[in-house]
Amino acid sequence: MGRSARFMAVLVGLLLLVSACLADGETTTVPPQQAHPELWITVALLLLFMVAGVCGLLLFLRFRRAHTCLKNVDDHNVTMLKVPNGDDPTYGGIFDEFCTSGSGTGLPYLVQRTMARQISLVECVGKGRYGEVWRGTWMGESVAVKIFSSRDEQSWFRETEIYNTVQLRHDNILGFIASDMTSKNSSTQLWLVTHFHEMGSLYDFLQYSSLEPESCLKMCLSMACGLVHLHTEIVSSQGKPAIAHRDLKSRNILVKRNGQCCIADLGLAVIHSQFNDFLDVGHNPRVGTKRYMAPEVLDESIRMDVFESYKQTDIWALGLVFWEISRRTIINGIVEEYRPPFFDLVPSDPSYEEMKKVVCVDQQRPRLHNRLHSHPIMSSIVKIMKECWFQNPPARLTALRVKKTLSKHDHDSDFSINKLKQDI
Ligand code: ADE
Protein backbone atom coordinates (compact mmCIF):
# COMPACT_ATOMS: atom_id res chain seq x y z
CA MET A 1 0.00 0.00 0.00
CA GLY A 2 1.29 3.53 -0.83
CA ARG A 3 2.05 6.07 1.89
CA SER A 4 -0.92 8.26 1.02
CA ALA A 5 -3.23 5.24 1.09
CA ARG A 6 -1.87 4.37 4.53
CA PHE A 7 -2.57 7.94 5.72
CA MET A 8 -6.10 7.65 4.47
CA ALA A 9 -6.50 4.28 6.15
CA VAL A 10 -5.23 5.64 9.47
CA LEU A 11 -7.47 8.69 9.15
CA VAL A 12 -10.51 6.61 8.33
CA GLY A 13 -9.64 4.20 11.15
CA LEU A 14 -9.36 7.01 13.72
CA LEU A 15 -12.56 8.62 12.54
CA LEU A 16 -14.32 5.29 12.82
CA LEU A 17 -12.92 4.87 16.31
CA VAL A 18 -14.12 8.31 17.40
CA SER A 19 -17.53 7.85 15.90
CA ALA A 20 -17.72 4.43 17.55
CA CYS A 21 -16.94 6.10 20.91
CA LEU A 22 -19.63 8.70 20.27
CA ALA A 23 -22.14 6.07 19.30
CA ASP A 24 -21.15 4.04 22.33
CA GLY A 25 -21.85 7.12 24.50
CA GLU A 26 -25.37 7.37 23.13
CA THR A 27 -26.24 3.74 23.72
CA THR A 28 -24.45 3.32 26.99
CA THR A 29 -26.05 1.28 29.71
CA VAL A 30 -24.10 3.18 32.37
CA PRO A 31 -26.42 5.00 34.68
CA PRO A 32 -26.95 8.64 33.54
CA GLN A 33 -25.42 10.11 36.69
CA GLN A 34 -21.94 8.52 35.83
CA ALA A 35 -21.87 9.21 32.08
CA HIS A 36 -21.17 12.99 31.91
CA PRO A 37 -22.31 13.20 28.22
CA GLU A 38 -21.14 16.82 27.70
CA LEU A 39 -17.54 15.83 28.75
CA TRP A 40 -17.55 12.85 26.35
CA ILE A 41 -18.68 14.96 23.44
CA THR A 42 -16.04 17.66 24.14
CA VAL A 43 -13.21 15.10 24.35
CA ALA A 44 -14.39 13.35 21.18
CA LEU A 45 -14.64 16.60 19.21
CA LEU A 46 -11.17 17.69 20.38
CA LEU A 47 -9.74 14.32 19.32
CA LEU A 48 -11.46 14.54 15.96
CA PHE A 49 -10.07 18.02 15.23
CA MET A 50 -6.54 17.02 16.27
CA VAL A 51 -6.48 13.88 14.11
CA ALA A 52 -7.96 15.68 11.11
CA GLY A 53 -5.46 18.57 11.52
CA VAL A 54 -2.37 16.31 11.69
CA CYS A 55 -3.52 14.15 8.74
CA GLY A 56 -4.41 17.23 6.70
CA LEU A 57 -0.97 18.73 7.31
CA LEU A 58 0.84 15.50 6.36
CA LEU A 59 -1.22 15.06 3.21
CA PHE A 60 -0.63 18.70 2.23
CA LEU A 61 3.16 18.35 2.63
CA ARG A 62 3.23 15.11 0.67
CA PHE A 63 1.17 16.26 -2.28
CA ARG A 64 2.71 19.74 -2.55
CA ARG A 65 5.99 18.29 -3.97
CA ALA A 66 4.31 15.89 -6.35
CA HIS A 67 1.92 18.60 -7.56
CA THR A 68 4.72 20.70 -9.09
CA CYS A 69 5.82 17.70 -11.20
CA LEU A 70 2.79 15.81 -12.30
CA LYS A 71 -0.23 18.07 -12.71
CA ASN A 72 -3.25 16.52 -14.34
CA VAL A 73 -3.10 17.07 -18.11
CA ASP A 74 -6.85 17.22 -18.24
CA ASP A 75 -6.67 20.43 -16.21
CA HIS A 76 -6.92 23.05 -18.94
CA ASN A 77 -5.81 25.80 -16.57
CA VAL A 78 -2.45 24.08 -16.11
CA THR A 79 0.36 26.62 -15.73
CA MET A 80 2.92 26.57 -18.56
CA LEU A 81 6.19 25.13 -17.31
CA LYS A 82 9.03 27.61 -17.53
CA VAL A 83 12.13 27.30 -19.75
CA PRO A 84 14.92 28.98 -17.78
CA ASN A 85 17.57 31.08 -19.54
CA GLY A 86 15.99 30.44 -22.96
CA ASP A 87 18.02 27.25 -23.21
CA ASP A 88 16.98 23.69 -22.42
CA PRO A 89 13.58 23.01 -20.88
CA THR A 90 13.43 21.37 -17.44
CA TYR A 91 9.90 19.98 -17.61
CA GLY A 92 8.83 21.47 -14.29
CA GLY A 93 11.89 20.27 -12.43
CA ILE A 94 10.75 16.65 -12.64
CA PHE A 95 14.33 15.56 -13.37
CA ASP A 96 15.63 17.35 -10.28
CA GLU A 97 13.04 15.44 -8.25
CA PHE A 98 14.10 12.03 -9.51
CA CYS A 99 17.56 12.28 -10.96
CA THR A 100 19.59 13.67 -8.10
CA SER A 101 19.20 10.42 -6.18
CA GLY A 102 19.83 6.78 -7.06
CA SER A 103 21.86 6.07 -10.19
CA GLY A 104 21.12 9.57 -11.44
CA THR A 105 20.51 8.31 -14.96
CA GLY A 106 16.90 9.28 -15.53
CA LEU A 107 13.31 8.90 -14.51
CA PRO A 108 12.02 5.56 -13.15
CA TYR A 109 10.46 3.40 -15.90
CA LEU A 110 6.95 3.74 -14.54
CA VAL A 111 7.24 7.54 -14.53
CA GLN A 112 8.62 7.46 -18.10
CA ARG A 113 5.68 5.35 -19.22
CA THR A 114 3.16 7.56 -17.45
CA MET A 115 4.66 10.70 -18.99
CA ALA A 116 4.81 9.18 -22.50
CA ARG A 117 1.13 8.24 -22.29
CA GLN A 118 0.17 11.79 -21.32
CA ILE A 119 1.70 13.25 -24.52
CA SER A 120 -0.51 14.62 -27.29
CA LEU A 121 1.09 14.35 -30.74
CA VAL A 122 0.71 17.70 -32.55
CA GLU A 123 2.61 17.69 -35.87
CA CYS A 124 5.00 15.43 -37.78
CA VAL A 125 8.34 17.25 -38.18
CA GLY A 126 10.40 14.50 -39.82
CA LYS A 127 10.01 11.21 -41.65
CA GLY A 128 12.56 8.71 -42.92
CA ARG A 129 13.68 5.09 -42.95
CA TYR A 130 14.10 5.32 -39.18
CA GLY A 131 10.40 6.17 -38.66
CA GLU A 132 8.89 9.55 -37.78
CA VAL A 133 9.59 12.48 -35.47
CA TRP A 134 6.63 14.38 -34.01
CA ARG A 135 6.30 17.49 -31.97
CA GLY A 136 4.11 16.62 -29.03
CA THR A 137 3.03 18.42 -25.89
CA TRP A 138 3.33 17.31 -22.31
CA MET A 139 1.88 19.60 -19.62
CA GLY A 140 1.68 22.40 -22.18
CA GLU A 141 5.34 22.17 -23.18
CA SER A 142 6.75 20.86 -26.47
CA VAL A 143 8.56 17.53 -26.55
CA ALA A 144 9.97 15.56 -29.49
CA VAL A 145 8.63 12.04 -30.02
CA LYS A 146 10.62 9.73 -32.27
CA ILE A 147 8.44 6.80 -33.36
CA PHE A 148 10.73 4.03 -34.59
CA SER A 149 9.85 1.95 -37.62
CA SER A 150 9.43 -1.71 -36.66
CA ARG A 151 12.51 -2.73 -38.68
CA ASP A 152 14.67 -0.35 -36.60
CA GLU A 153 13.66 -1.65 -33.17
CA GLN A 154 17.29 -2.40 -32.31
CA SER A 155 18.07 1.32 -32.50
CA TRP A 156 15.27 2.01 -30.00
CA PHE A 157 16.58 -0.69 -27.65
CA ARG A 158 20.12 0.63 -27.86
CA GLU A 159 19.23 4.28 -27.39
CA THR A 160 16.88 3.45 -24.52
CA GLU A 161 19.54 1.31 -22.89
CA ILE A 162 22.21 4.00 -23.16
CA TYR A 163 20.07 6.88 -21.92
CA ASN A 164 18.83 4.78 -18.98
CA THR A 165 22.18 3.44 -17.89
CA VAL A 166 24.62 6.26 -18.66
CA GLN A 167 24.62 9.72 -17.08
CA LEU A 168 24.41 11.72 -20.33
CA ARG A 169 23.03 15.11 -19.29
CA HIS A 170 25.06 17.62 -21.31
CA ASP A 171 24.17 20.84 -23.15
CA ASN A 172 25.40 19.36 -26.43
CA ILE A 173 23.76 15.92 -26.22
CA LEU A 174 20.04 15.72 -26.99
CA GLY A 175 18.16 15.64 -23.66
CA PHE A 176 16.31 12.40 -22.95
CA ILE A 177 12.90 12.37 -21.27
CA ALA A 178 11.31 8.93 -21.66
CA SER A 179 11.07 5.70 -23.62
CA ASP A 180 7.90 3.73 -24.08
CA MET A 181 6.83 0.52 -25.76
CA THR A 182 3.12 -0.06 -26.45
CA SER A 183 1.05 -2.57 -28.37
CA LYS A 184 -1.34 -1.16 -30.97
CA ASN A 185 -3.48 -3.41 -33.22
CA SER A 186 -1.08 -6.30 -32.54
CA SER A 187 1.96 -4.24 -33.61
CA THR A 188 4.55 -2.74 -31.27
CA GLN A 189 5.02 1.02 -31.06
CA LEU A 190 8.40 2.25 -29.90
CA TRP A 191 8.68 5.83 -28.68
CA LEU A 192 11.65 7.89 -27.62
CA VAL A 193 10.71 11.20 -26.01
CA THR A 194 13.35 13.95 -25.94
CA HIS A 195 13.70 17.72 -25.69
CA PHE A 196 12.19 19.50 -28.67
CA HIS A 197 14.35 21.92 -30.65
CA GLU A 198 12.15 24.08 -32.84
CA MET A 199 15.00 24.97 -35.25
CA GLY A 200 15.19 21.30 -36.26
CA SER A 201 18.21 19.41 -37.56
CA LEU A 202 21.44 21.06 -38.70
CA TYR A 203 20.74 19.62 -42.17
CA ASP A 204 17.37 21.44 -42.32
CA PHE A 205 18.83 24.62 -40.84
CA LEU A 206 21.65 24.83 -43.41
CA GLN A 207 19.18 24.60 -46.32
CA TYR A 208 17.81 28.07 -45.58
CA SER A 209 20.41 29.80 -43.36
CA SER A 210 23.84 31.26 -43.90
CA LEU A 211 26.20 32.14 -41.05
CA GLU A 212 28.83 34.57 -39.86
CA PRO A 213 32.19 32.94 -39.00
CA GLU A 214 31.52 33.49 -35.26
CA SER A 215 28.25 31.53 -35.48
CA CYS A 216 29.99 28.80 -37.47
CA LEU A 217 32.63 28.63 -34.71
CA LYS A 218 29.95 28.41 -32.02
CA MET A 219 28.23 25.50 -33.79
CA CYS A 220 31.47 23.62 -34.46
CA LEU A 221 32.74 24.14 -30.92
CA SER A 222 29.45 23.02 -29.35
CA MET A 223 29.53 19.83 -31.43
CA ALA A 224 33.13 19.19 -30.39
CA CYS A 225 32.08 19.68 -26.74
CA GLY A 226 29.25 17.14 -27.15
CA LEU A 227 31.61 14.69 -28.79
CA VAL A 228 34.25 15.11 -26.08
CA HIS A 229 31.59 14.30 -23.49
CA LEU A 230 30.51 11.19 -25.41
CA HIS A 231 34.07 9.98 -26.09
CA THR A 232 35.35 10.49 -22.54
CA GLU A 233 35.12 7.87 -19.84
CA ILE A 234 34.54 9.41 -16.40
CA VAL A 235 35.51 7.19 -13.50
CA SER A 236 33.55 8.25 -10.40
CA SER A 237 30.30 7.37 -8.63
CA GLN A 238 28.40 9.60 -11.11
CA GLY A 239 30.79 8.59 -13.93
CA LYS A 240 30.15 7.31 -17.43
CA PRO A 241 31.76 4.94 -19.90
CA ALA A 242 33.22 6.23 -23.16
CA ILE A 243 30.75 6.19 -26.07
CA ALA A 244 31.37 6.39 -29.81
CA HIS A 245 28.41 7.55 -31.90
CA ARG A 246 29.00 5.79 -35.27
CA ASP A 247 26.40 7.76 -37.26
CA LEU A 248 27.39 11.39 -36.92
CA LYS A 249 25.91 13.55 -39.71
CA SER A 250 24.08 16.87 -40.07
CA ARG A 251 20.70 15.11 -39.90
CA ASN A 252 21.63 13.73 -36.46
CA ILE A 253 22.55 17.12 -35.04
CA LEU A 254 19.96 19.57 -33.74
CA VAL A 255 20.22 23.34 -33.64
CA LYS A 256 19.30 25.04 -30.38
CA ARG A 257 17.85 28.53 -29.94
CA ASN A 258 21.12 29.77 -28.41
CA GLY A 259 23.07 28.92 -31.59
CA GLN A 260 24.70 25.82 -30.15
CA CYS A 261 24.09 22.30 -31.44
CA CYS A 262 23.37 19.00 -29.74
CA ILE A 263 24.10 15.46 -30.89
CA ALA A 264 21.16 13.08 -31.35
CA ASP A 265 20.57 9.40 -32.23
CA LEU A 266 22.54 6.98 -30.10
CA GLY A 267 20.95 3.96 -31.78
CA LEU A 268 24.24 2.68 -33.17
CA ALA A 269 26.56 3.77 -30.38
CA VAL A 270 29.27 1.56 -28.87
CA ILE A 271 30.24 1.68 -25.23
CA HIS A 272 33.64 1.17 -23.71
CA SER A 273 34.98 1.12 -20.18
CA GLN A 274 38.70 0.85 -19.58
CA PHE A 275 37.89 0.74 -15.88
CA ASN A 276 35.76 -2.41 -16.25
CA ASP A 277 37.67 -3.59 -19.34
CA PHE A 278 34.67 -4.08 -21.58
CA LEU A 279 33.60 -3.14 -25.12
CA ASP A 280 29.89 -3.34 -25.94
CA VAL A 281 29.16 -2.95 -29.66
CA GLY A 282 25.44 -3.80 -29.29
CA HIS A 283 23.40 -6.03 -31.60
CA ASN A 284 22.18 -3.59 -34.22
CA PRO A 285 22.23 -4.85 -37.82
CA ARG A 286 22.10 -1.19 -38.95
CA VAL A 287 25.30 0.37 -40.28
CA GLY A 288 26.22 4.07 -40.42
CA THR A 289 25.41 6.39 -43.35
CA LYS A 290 27.61 5.47 -46.34
CA ARG A 291 28.25 9.10 -47.37
CA TYR A 292 29.83 9.78 -43.95
CA MET A 293 31.79 6.50 -43.64
CA ALA A 294 35.51 6.70 -42.98
CA PRO A 295 37.85 4.92 -45.46
CA GLU A 296 38.60 2.09 -43.00
CA VAL A 297 34.85 1.37 -42.65
CA LEU A 298 34.34 1.35 -46.42
CA ASP A 299 37.28 -0.97 -47.12
CA GLU A 300 36.59 -3.03 -43.95
CA SER A 301 40.10 -2.59 -42.61
CA ILE A 302 38.73 -1.10 -39.34
CA ARG A 303 39.79 -2.90 -36.15
CA MET A 304 36.36 -3.66 -34.75
CA ASP A 305 37.70 -5.00 -31.46
CA VAL A 306 39.45 -1.72 -30.61
CA PHE A 307 37.30 1.09 -29.20
CA GLU A 308 39.64 3.86 -30.42
CA SER A 309 38.77 2.85 -34.01
CA TYR A 310 35.15 3.93 -33.53
CA LYS A 311 36.14 7.31 -32.08
CA GLN A 312 38.38 7.85 -35.13
CA THR A 313 35.44 7.22 -37.49
CA ASP A 314 33.39 9.82 -35.53
CA ILE A 315 36.18 12.36 -36.10
CA TRP A 316 36.11 11.70 -39.86
CA ALA A 317 32.36 12.40 -39.88
CA LEU A 318 32.78 15.47 -37.63
CA GLY A 319 35.13 16.97 -40.24
CA LEU A 320 32.48 16.41 -42.93
CA VAL A 321 29.82 18.17 -40.82
CA PHE A 322 32.22 21.11 -40.27
CA TRP A 323 32.62 21.23 -44.07
CA GLU A 324 28.82 21.40 -44.56
CA ILE A 325 28.64 24.36 -42.13
CA SER A 326 31.65 26.13 -43.61
CA ARG A 327 30.06 26.17 -47.09
CA ARG A 328 27.17 28.17 -45.63
CA THR A 329 29.49 30.67 -43.90
CA ILE A 330 29.69 34.15 -45.44
CA ILE A 331 33.18 35.59 -45.94
CA ASN A 332 33.81 38.72 -48.01
CA GLY A 333 30.16 38.52 -49.04
CA ILE A 334 30.64 35.05 -50.57
CA VAL A 335 28.67 31.96 -49.51
CA GLU A 336 28.05 28.58 -51.21
CA GLU A 337 24.79 26.67 -51.54
CA TYR A 338 24.09 23.78 -49.19
CA ARG A 339 25.48 20.48 -50.52
CA PRO A 340 26.04 17.13 -48.79
CA PRO A 341 29.62 15.81 -48.52
CA PHE A 342 30.98 14.35 -51.81
CA PHE A 343 27.95 15.76 -53.70
CA ASP A 344 30.18 16.33 -56.75
CA LEU A 345 31.72 12.85 -56.68
CA VAL A 346 28.92 10.37 -55.89
CA PRO A 347 25.19 10.21 -56.76
CA SER A 348 22.43 10.50 -54.16
CA ASP A 349 22.13 7.37 -52.00
CA PRO A 350 25.59 6.15 -53.06
CA SER A 351 26.59 2.48 -52.93
CA TYR A 352 29.55 1.16 -50.94
CA GLU A 353 31.48 0.70 -54.16
CA GLU A 354 30.87 4.29 -55.29
CA MET A 355 31.99 5.68 -51.92
CA LYS A 356 34.96 3.33 -51.71
CA LYS A 357 36.26 4.39 -55.11
CA VAL A 358 36.19 8.09 -54.12
CA VAL A 359 37.35 7.86 -50.48
CA CYS A 360 39.69 4.81 -50.41
CA VAL A 361 41.01 4.29 -53.94
CA ASP A 362 41.24 7.90 -55.22
CA GLN A 363 41.59 9.31 -51.68
CA GLN A 364 39.54 12.37 -52.57
CA ARG A 365 38.42 14.91 -49.96
CA PRO A 366 35.72 17.61 -50.05
CA ARG A 367 36.87 20.77 -51.82
CA LEU A 368 37.47 23.86 -49.70
CA HIS A 369 36.64 27.29 -51.15
CA ASN A 370 39.50 29.84 -51.29
CA ARG A 371 37.56 32.45 -49.29
CA LEU A 372 37.88 30.26 -46.18
CA HIS A 373 41.64 30.93 -46.01
CA SER A 374 41.10 34.67 -45.68
CA HIS A 375 39.44 34.56 -42.23
CA PRO A 376 41.35 33.52 -39.07
CA ILE A 377 38.48 31.45 -37.60
CA MET A 378 37.67 29.74 -40.86
CA SER A 379 41.29 28.99 -41.76
CA SER A 380 41.62 27.32 -38.36
CA ILE A 381 38.49 25.25 -39.07
CA VAL A 382 39.92 24.32 -42.49
CA LYS A 383 43.09 23.05 -40.80
CA ILE A 384 41.00 21.02 -38.35
CA MET A 385 38.91 19.50 -41.17
CA LYS A 386 42.04 18.37 -43.02
CA GLU A 387 43.35 16.74 -39.84
CA CYS A 388 40.01 14.94 -39.34
CA TRP A 389 40.39 13.42 -42.81
CA PHE A 390 43.77 11.69 -42.58
CA GLN A 391 43.66 8.30 -44.29
CA ASN A 392 45.51 6.82 -41.34
CA PRO A 393 42.90 6.77 -38.49
CA PRO A 394 45.27 7.20 -35.49
CA ALA A 395 46.76 10.30 -37.15
CA ARG A 396 43.41 12.14 -36.94
CA LEU A 397 42.73 14.74 -34.27
CA THR A 398 40.89 13.74 -31.11
CA ALA A 399 37.62 15.45 -30.15
CA LEU A 400 39.41 17.07 -27.20
CA ARG A 401 42.09 18.52 -29.49
CA VAL A 402 39.38 19.92 -31.81
CA LYS A 403 37.62 21.46 -28.81
CA LYS A 404 40.83 23.04 -27.45
CA THR A 405 41.85 24.49 -30.80
CA LEU A 406 38.42 26.01 -31.44
CA SER A 407 38.23 27.36 -27.89
CA LYS A 408 41.26 29.58 -28.56
CA HIS A 409 39.11 31.59 -31.00
CA ASP A 410 36.21 31.84 -28.65
CA HIS A 411 36.92 34.64 -26.19
CA ASP A 412 33.51 35.76 -25.00
CA SER A 413 31.28 32.74 -24.86
CA ASP A 414 30.43 29.86 -22.53
CA PHE A 415 33.42 27.95 -23.90
CA SER A 416 36.03 30.39 -22.61
CA ILE A 417 39.35 28.94 -21.60
CA ASN A 418 38.34 28.97 -17.90
CA LYS A 419 35.40 26.66 -18.57
CA LEU A 420 37.63 24.45 -20.67
CA LYS A 421 40.10 24.14 -17.76
CA GLN A 422 37.24 23.07 -15.48
CA ASP A 423 36.20 20.32 -17.88
CA ILE A 424 39.63 18.73 -18.17
N1 ADE B 1 13.95 16.36 -35.35
C2 ADE B 1 14.50 15.25 -34.86
N3 ADE B 1 14.62 15.33 -33.55
C4 ADE B 1 14.13 16.53 -33.18
C5 ADE B 1 14.00 17.20 -31.94
N6 ADE B 1 14.40 16.64 -30.81
N7 ADE B 1 13.49 18.43 -31.93
C8 ADE B 1 13.11 18.97 -33.09
N9 ADE B 1 13.20 18.41 -34.27
C10 ADE B 1 13.71 17.18 -34.32
- Give which of 123, 107, 209 is closest to 164, Cα–Cα: 107
Ligand 1 midpoint to CA 164 (Å): 19
Closest ligand 1 atom, CA of 126?
1
Same domain, 190 and 229: no
From the candidates 88, 180, 247, 265, give the one annotated as an active-site residue.
247
Residues near 260 by beta carbon (within 8 Å), at least 6 away in sequence = 171, 172, 218, 219, 222
Residue of minimum CA distance from atom 9 in ligand 1: 200
Same domain, 273 and 419: yes
The answer to whether the CB of 267 falls within 8 A of the CB of 177 is: no
Same domain, 303 and 359: yes
Number of domains in the chain: 2
**What is the residue type of 192?**
L
Whether 247 sits among the annotated catalytic residues: the reply is yes
Same domain, 295 and 317: yes
Same domain, 163 and 312: no
What pLDDT does residue 62 have? 41
Domain boundary residue, one of 195, 212, 237: 195
The DSSP code for 175 is P
Domain boundary residue, one of 144, 166, 195: 195
Same domain, 167 and 265: no
Within a domain: 34: no
Same domain, 142 and 258: no
CATH of residue 159's domain is 3.30.200.20
Ligand 1 midpoint to CA 343 (Å): 25
- The dihedral over CA atoms of 157, 161, 163, 165, expressed in degrees to the nearest 10, equals 180
Q: What is the pTM of this model?
A: 0.79
pLDDT in tens, the chain (424 residues): 334 433 333 333 333 233 333 333 333 333 344 456 677 777 677 777 665 654 454 444 343 333 332 233 223 222 233 334 446 776 666 666 665 555 557 899 999 999 999 999 999 999 999 999 999 999 999 999 999 999 999 999 999 999 999 989 999 999 999 999 998 888 899 999 999 999 999 999 999 999 999 999 999 999 999 999 999 999 988 899 999 999 999 999 999 999 999 999 999 999 999 988 899 999 999 999 999 999 999 999 999 999 999 999 999 999 999 999 999 999 999 999 999 999 999 999 999 999 999 999 999 999 999 999 999 999 999 999 999 999 999 999 999 999 999 999 987 555 554 454 444 4
Ligand 1 midpoint to CA 314 (Å): 21
Same domain, 246 and 365: yes
Within a domain: 213: yes
Within a domain: 93: no
Domain boundary residue, one of 150, 168, 195: 195
Residue of minimum CA distance from atom 6 in ligand 1: 196
Within a domain: 361: yes
Same domain, 177 and 214: no
Residues with CB under 6 A from ligand 1: 125-126, 133, 144, 174, 194-197, 200-201, 254, 264
Ligand 1 midpoint to CA 351 (Å): 28
Same domain, 278 and 369: yes
Range of the domain at 174: 99-195
Which among 127, 134, 143, 201 is the best mutation to test ligand 1's pocket, defined by most ligand atoms within 8 Å of the CB?
201
Same domain, 382 and 253: yes
Residue of minimum CA distance from atom 2 in ligand 1: 133
